[in-house]
């Protein structure tokens, strides 16, 4: 397909913009298409993806179903097809993020050690910040080594909501 498909999903956190390419989830952004279209187009071009966007729920139906289940406390893992677009280091970090269990948290140092790069704590933080598939790839589960909530693209209030949801259902 020569276009990316998107759908505006109404979540308890506000609108989430879901973006797919060839039946793979590739991006979740907080906000509307109007707020994110330029950024998504630029991101797509950077990763040699189509920059045309088509509003279509169909390719994202399973993602929507699983997000509904997650927000209702009925799902702890996601099994939707997704594809990472980033550097090899970023993909390594994102793969490690995907392994953090529901209801658990860890630090950037924990992730750095897990990927055999214990001195790359800041780089891990940078990759975590660039995670394109928020919630499904649970970057919200990474906290400061002192236990404090730190950084989240959607805002700390959304991170706190997700962690509280998971603690209640774990």
Other CB atoms within 10 A of residue 142 CB: 26
- Chain centroid to Cα 98, Å, comes to 10
Q: Is residue 54 part of a domain?
A: yes
| Angle between helices 121-129 and 88-97 in degrees, nearest 10 | 80
Q: Is the pTM of this model over 0.95?
A: no
Q: Is residue 22 part of a domain?
A: yes
Catalytic annotation on 139?
A: yes
Residue 39's domain is classified under what CATH number?
3.30.160.70
Identify the pLDDT of residue 39.
Answer: 93
User: What is the number of domains present in the chain?
Assistant: 2
Distance set, CA 43 to CA 37, 59, 128, 130 (Å): 10, 20, 16, 11
3-state DSSP assignment of residue 51: coil
Q: Are 121 and 109 in contact (CB under 8 A)?
A: yes
User: What value does the mean pLDDT of the chain take?
Assistant: 92
How would residue 1 be classed by pLDDT, with cut points 50, 70 and 90? low
Q: Is residue 66 part of a domain?
A: yes
Q: Is residue 76 part of a domain?
A: no
pLDDT digits (tens, 9 = 90+) for 57-74: 999 999 999 999 999 999
Residue 150 scores a pLDDT above 90: no
Residue 121's domain is classified under what CATH number?
1.10.10.10
Q: Are 154 and 30 in contact (CB under 8 A)?
A: yes
Active-site annotation holder among 120, 139, 142, 162: 139
How far apart (Å, rounded) are the C-alpha atoms in residues 67 and 165?
A: 13
pLDDT digits (tens, 9 = 90+) for 158-170: 889 999 999 886 5
Domain extent, residue 163, equals: 88-169
| Residue that is last in its domain, among 42, 71, 100 | 71
């Amino acid at each position: 397909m020569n276009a990316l498909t998107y759908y505006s999903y109404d979540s308890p956190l506000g609108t989430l913009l879901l973006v797919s390419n060839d039946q793979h989830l590739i991006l979740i952004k907080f906000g509307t298409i109007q707020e994110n279209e330029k950024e998504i187009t630029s991101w797509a071009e950077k990763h040699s993806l189509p920059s045309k966007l088509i509003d279509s729920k169909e390719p994202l139906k399973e993602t929507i179903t699983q997000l509904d289940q997650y927000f209702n406390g009925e799902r702890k893992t996601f099994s939707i097809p997704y594809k990472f677009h980033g550097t090899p280091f970023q993909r390594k970090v994102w793969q490690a993020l995907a392994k953090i269990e529901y209801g658990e948290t860890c630090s950037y140092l924990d992730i750095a050690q897990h990927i055999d790069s214990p001195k790359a704590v800041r780089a891990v933080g940078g990759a975590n910040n660039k995670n394109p598939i928020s919630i499904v790839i649970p970057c919200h589960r990474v906290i400061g080594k002192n236990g404090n909530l730190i950084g989240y693209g959607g805002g700390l209030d959304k991170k706190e909501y997700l962690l509280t949801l998971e603690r209640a259902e774990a």
